[in-house]
Amino acid sequence: MTVSATFATSDPHGHLTELTAALQQAGLLDDESHWAGGTSRLWVLGDLLDRGPDGLGVIALVRRLVDEAAAAGGSVHPLLGNHEVIALGTRLFGSTEVVHRGVVRTFESVWARNGGLESDQDGIDAELFAWLAGLPAVGLDGDHLLMHSDTLAYLEWGDTVDDVNRAVREILAGDDPVAWFDVLVGLGRRHEYAGPSGPAAARTLLGALGGQRIVH
């Protein structure tokens, strides 16, 4: 089956089998796990690794689909999640103690508490590190504004999609652990579009970054 539409999925967390099955059910992959979505667009909203058994397999699938979809006239757009930042921060800073907002933290301890796997860490070489660190934090697809977390933290990095993505990329291209923790904490914030103040928060974000509906 060939489809032509826009899809979003999120938080595969190393569960390659389940992600593959879901994309096949949606008609985006064939039985051999190759792109079958034609001109469709797929957004993957972060947290590719940790917790599940095969984060590297999930990343490899997504990276391959980026190329296969482009060749077919479609597109695959992975975005940055907090678990990418945890894993990369652990790779870069390890057990180095960092004073962040008055609290002593280490990336390694955060990673261990949040389901980090040695098997994922072992496969993050310099090339994969650069690819993950370069992922955009937000994306705009027509009237849809796409991101990992339901938070206004994105506006701390800019007031346009390009500015947000540029600022986050610059931080993750550097070696300031406090700035890295700022990104991690921001992407880990939740539920700011819920409750009585949620609609106003969502309108604030949409008014700045564009779109009519948030997908997170």
Dihedral angle over CA of 121, 185, 47, 75, nearest 10: -120
* pLDDT tens digit sequence for 111-148: 999 999 999 999 999 999 999 999 999 999 999 999 99
C-alpha to C-alpha distance for 107 and 90, rounded to whole angstroms: 5
| 94: pLDDT strictly greater than 60 | yes
Average pLDDT over residues 75-95: 97
User: Residue 54 — very low, low, confident or very high, per pLDDT cuts 50/70/90?
Assistant: very high
132 close to 106: Cβ distance less than 8 angstroms: no
pLDDT score recorded for residue 1: 46
**Sign of the alpha-carbon dihedral angle for 149, 153, 159, 163:** negative
Q: Give the distance between the most distant pair of CA atoms in the chain.
A: 55
pLDDT at 185: 96
Residue 3: is its pLDDT beyond 60?
A: no
How confident is the model over 179-199, as a mean pLDDT? 96
Predicted confidence at residue 4, as pLDDT, reads 72
pTM attached to this predicted model: 0.95
More confident residue, 84 or 1: 84
